[in-house]
Chain A
Amino acid sequence: MGKRFAILGTLLPVSLLAQDSLKTDTLHRPWTKDLPELFVTATRTQRNAGEIPVRLASISQATIEIQPVLTTDALLDLVPGANLDRPQGIFSKNASVTLRGLNGSPRILILVDGVPVSKTDGGGVNWNRFIPENIDRIEIIKGPVSTVYGGNAMTGVINMITREPKSKMEGEFKAFYGSYETFGGMIRLGGRLKPQANSFYYGFSGFYRQGNGYVIVPETTRDSLDVRTYLWELSLGAKVGYRYRNGNYTEVEYSYYNDKRGDGTQIFEPEGGYNRYPTHYLRVTSSNNFGRFNWIIRVFYQNENYLRQSETMSAKKEKKYTLYNTDAYRIDQGIWTNLTYHARRNIDITLGLDLKKGTVDGRDIYRTSTDILGNKGKMNFLAIFAEYEWQPVQKKLTILAGLRYDIARFFDGTFTIDEPTTLTQFMTLYPTVFENETWQAVSPKLGLKYFFGEHISLYLSYSHGFRPAMLDDICRNGNISKGFKLANPQLKPENVDNFEIGSDWHPVPSVSIEPSIYYTIGNDFQYFVGNGDSINTGGDNLKPVLQRQNVSRVRVIGGEITLSWQIIKHLFLTANYAYNDSRIVAFDTTGRVAKDLNGKYLMEVPKNQVFAGIYYNSHILQASLVFNYKGPQWTDDENTQETAGYSTFDLKIGKTFFKAITAALIVQDIFDNRYLDSKGNISPGRFFMLNLSYRFIKS
């Protein structure tokens, strides 16, 4: 016993391998409807997935392993209505994932093991730091989930659940080499003192990748300053926990991530422009059952140090050279806890209390002038929620109702300018200390699901969602492409109300069809508007002074359908289609200088998306071929520029030797169909990656 305590005191986590993944014949349904029996994300406690009246999706470990992907976010292509934007593949400084016709990463909440990793500062997450091999499964809830999760859970929640070792000792070593001189390796090691429950478990993971990239600017517009992008990235993690016989567990996880990705510009500095996101992440989770109660507490801390080097030369005659570094700390920390009471008569009541604090402390440090710009701000969140789940007719009807109250306070907001030159002198005209602000949000939800028989069910739901304003918009002034952005500490949250109906239908045991349609109204959506001023920012022309304000009302009419078919024992097919008509239906220009965007489509939202994948998985061969189509997307709010639609085919073929060694080839964009992103940059085109891995397991 003394030894166990000693180990607990010394160790920290990780995610690791489950021996199931070694048994390739356990891959039954490699698609998003591969729902685990228990689904933890929808209500923050374990629930039978089939009974929850929302549209759920789950990507299992087996699915993750057979998909032809190189990053975790790419797995979400499997989910109808998910719009993944990673135009430069692994060389993208980040990816953006959005859901159901609303653009912008802050409108979706990303969790890891139930704790939020979406940042208060920018609202997004750094997808690069999540390694597919570390993930046990991904649970996705579509539609607003603010009743349970509060801010950002506006179009849905994605919860990545990391691996937990299941055997006494297990591990995997992987090496890979691919296009653009990309290579690296991955290691996972872990185990548990006893293979069954009531045992201490632990694990480590490490991942390294580097590559020389490519020139992202099309040849027709390329100049001598455009160079190849590059990347190196390192991820380390550790996880330790103790799981009791009665289902209680306590787990601690720590991870560290560091990277450097060239932005494809190099003028004088050897490394040119680049972005880095060194991140420390710590999570402690404890789940305790006593009687009919289950109490879960999650404590989390995430510290991202965003480092950027920007090197630019203006296209104007003066060829003004600018070099600066951004050094910003974005810290999110909090305690989330919920207590569930499993009452008699099929009633579950969950009460929750969430505390979270988000801070930003950033500086733009100019090297080609003396200026240093600083912005700071903090936001505290406090929320309580209650959820009531009732099955008046067991296995026939489920009713889920919930209500949440959030209160948030912005404080300590400042914007500073040290040693201003002509570059920033004009900014001193504007406020540098911001008033504290408080706002509140109430998020109700009501859903019901009815089983007409064993093979068909129908759900109806109404839910409300919101997302808080980003600290970056609240306490940071600065130049943007359209003009000069003025901080707006009075910026309020955006809200959506979603009405939805959907069905799960199994016409035959090997086929499932999952259609949903939804109508979403969004209020107080934020857009840049002018205040009537213009300012000389040092260029030839005056620039408009802009501020993000709550000025518009949007609506989305959308639908999606997934078809899954197990053709024969080892052959599976999944396909999905999503349609979103997302428009601005009101735009308040009263007292503002702005183009009326009423009637315009939301930018960066494809109206039509199609995904199809066919999978073969046996002891002899593992193979997958997937097809992705994204329709045209507007790249500006005014709907004057549109990117063309594009499609890609990706392939993965793998073979296992001696039950332990696997060789796999991934080919992305087989037909080298290079497309342009919204900034006019090109995708990497056909990309090969050869993996060689060795796995072991000791029971």
Chain B
Amino acid sequence: MKAESTQILWVLIGLISLNLSCTKQVLDGDPPQIKFIRDPGFVYHDTTLMIGQKIRVGLDAEGIDKNITFFQISLDNGVRQILLDSGLNTPGLQYRLDIIKTANPIEKWTFLVMNKDRKKDSIQLTLHKSDSSHYGPIRSFQDVVLGAQKNTVTGSFFSFTTTLIYSLDLAFQNQSFIDLIYYFGSYDATLSSPNEADAPSLFPGPNGIAYWTIKNETRYDTTSLTPQAFDLAENDSLLLAVYEPTAGKRKVKYVTQDQVISFKSQAGKIGLIKVNGLESSSKGIVLLSIKIQE
């Protein structure tokens, strides 16, 4: 009898052990919080803007119970587009964003944060187009000739500010001015800028881009504009009409003749590039026309 009781006791101990091992994770806690920075110079409420007008928005977010792991900026101007999806893991977040008002009547900007428990908070900013909007002036550069990376005669670097063409060595000395780079690489004729990932490997050496301390970034987007439409642009209305804040890439690949490319410079200027012609080789050239906001 004693032996049987001992055996039953063992059984019970075993069952209790099994039961203790089953626990459920309960997700609890407050959601994160995000709010606009209300310092001078920042816009933090819905407003009306002229086309092309630039504003600065500041965001301040706190994870509260858990770290913030996701930050998203989306824009709804009739079509919802995601401008930024960013993974992170931080107790707090401060973010500043420059927005240029496009030709759309209404733009709804949404800023969302989420913590590790997937609890979310978001805020919105609505920008209306002013009825008294007028289009701004532009600068035009015709027949800009850039050489590809192995072209020893013509430079590959261009500045929207100085409107000069630079060789690699000169560009190294004028890093803060360089906005546009041309090379012929894995994706054939390519327009990029110093902050693009592939450019350093194509422009190596002691003055190579890898060693630059200032790397401007220009964002490009292809368009369906014709060369004739480009030629007719006399103010920034067309530039703003085709500009898509969410679509910009660090480079535009497989550039072809008569292609019209939209861009936004490091300085926030919006513009268009027309490809007038090119020689398809790493020693070749590309011939461009450029129109950019003043």
Chain A interface residues (CB < 8 Å from chain B): 3, 7, 10-12, 14, 168-169, 189, 191, 193, 202, 204, 206, 234, 236, 238, 240, 254, 256, 258, 267-269, 316-317, 320-323, 365-370, 421-423, 425, 540
Contacts and interface: CB of A to CB of B under 8 A. Distances in A.
B89 A267 contact: yes
Contacts of B12: 10
A323 B197 contact: no
A598 B65 CA distance: 56
Contacts of B15: 10, 12, 238
A573 B199 CA distance: 64
A321 B87 contact: yes
Interface of B: 3-4, 6-8, 10-15, 17-18, 21-22, 67, 69-70, 72, 82, 85-90, 112, 114, 116, 118, 120, 197
Contacts of A189: 10
Of all A-B residue pairs in the complex, the 9 with the closest CB atoms, nearest first, are A368-B87, A268-B89, A204-B14, A321-B87, A367-B69, A421-B85, A317-B197, A11-B11, A422-B85
A169 B7 contact: yes
Contacts of B7: 7, 169, 191, 193, 202
B116 A10 contact: no
Given A7-B4, A7-B7, 5 more contacts: A189-B10, A191-B3, A238-B11, A323-B87, A370-B112
A516 B30 CA distance: 66
Contact of A370 (B3, B70, B197): B70
- Of the candidates B7, B87, B116, the one having the most CB atoms from chain A within 10 angstroms of its own CB is B87
Contacts, number: 93
B8 A10 contact: yes
A238 B118 CA distance: 38
A421 B82 contact: yes
A360 B210 CA distance: 48
A168 B197 contact: no
Contacts of B85: 369, 421-423
Given A169-B7, A368-B87, A370-B72, A422 B14 contact: no
Given A193-B4, A321-B89, A367 B70 contact: yes
A316 B21 contact: no
A343 B102 CA distance: 89
A368 B88 CA distance: 6
A302 to B, nearest CB: 16
Given A256-B21, A316-B197, A204 B67 contact: no
B112 to A, nearest CB: 8
Chain B binding site: helix, strand, loop or mixed by DSSP? mixed
Contacts of A365: 118
A317 B250 CA distance: 12
9 contacts: A7-B7, A191-B3, A191-B7, A240-B11, A258-B21, A268-B67, A365-B118, A369-B87, A422-B82
B17 A236 contact: yes
A322 B72 contact: no
A7 B15 CA distance: 13
Contacts of B70: 366-370
A366 B70 CA distance: 9
Contact of B21 (A204, A236, A423): A236
A44 to B, nearest CB: 30
Contacts of B10: 189, 204
A3 B4 contact: yes
Contacts of A368: 69-70, 86-89
A320 B87 contact: yes
Contacts of B112: 370
A208 to B, nearest CB: 11
Contacts of B14: 12, 14, 204, 206, 236, 238
A689 B233 CA distance: 79
Contacts of A425: 82
B3 A168 contact: yes
Contacts of A234: 21
A578 B112 CA distance: 59
Nearest to A372: B118
Contacts of B82: 421-422, 425
Given A193-B4, A268-B89, A421-B85, A323 B11 contact: no
Nearest to A268: B89
A421 B17 contact: no
B115 to A, nearest CB: 8
B17 A206 contact: yes
B87 A10 contact: no
A323 B69 contact: yes
B120 to A, nearest CB: 8
Contacts of B13: 204
- Of the candidates A7, A323, A369, the one having the most CB atoms from chain B within 10 angstroms of its own CB is A369
Nearest to A6: B8
A82 to B, nearest CB: 32
A15 to B, nearest CB: 13
A254 to B, nearest CB: 8
Contacts of B6: 169
A238 B10 CA distance: 10
B11 to A, nearest CB: 5
A159 B3 CA distance: 34
- Of the candidates B6, B7, B21, B82, the one having the most CB atoms from chain A within 10 angstroms of its own CB is B7
B77 to A, nearest CB: 18
Contacts of A202: 7, 11
Contacts of B114: 367, 370
Contacts of A191: 3, 7
A168 B4 CA distance: 10
A674 B72 CA distance: 45
B69 to A, nearest CB: 4
A189 B7 CA distance: 9
- Of the candidates B10, B15, B17, B22, the one having the most CB atoms from chain A within 10 angstroms of its own CB is B10
- Of the candidates B10, B14, B70, B89, the one having the most CB atoms from chain A within 10 angstroms of its own CB is B14
Contacts of B4: 3, 7, 193
B144 to A, nearest CB: 26
A661 B212 CA distance: 70
A316 B256 CA distance: 27
Nearest to B74: A421
A243 B14 CA distance: 22
Contacts of B116: 323, 367
Contacts of A7: 4, 7-8, 11
Contacts of B69: 323, 367-368
Nearest to A311: B89
A322 B21 contact: no
Contacts of A269: 89
Contacts of B118: 365, 367, 370
A147 B49 CA distance: 77
A323 B3 contact: no
Nearest to A538: B85
Contact of A10 (B11, B21, B67): B11
Contact of B72 (A14, A258, A267, A421): A421
A2 to B, nearest CB: 12
A510 to B, nearest CB: 43
A189 B9 CA distance: 11
A193 to B, nearest CB: 7
A423 B87 CA distance: 11
A295 to B, nearest CB: 29
A204 B11 contact: yes
A11 B67 CA distance: 45
Contacts of B11: 7, 10-11, 202, 204, 238, 240
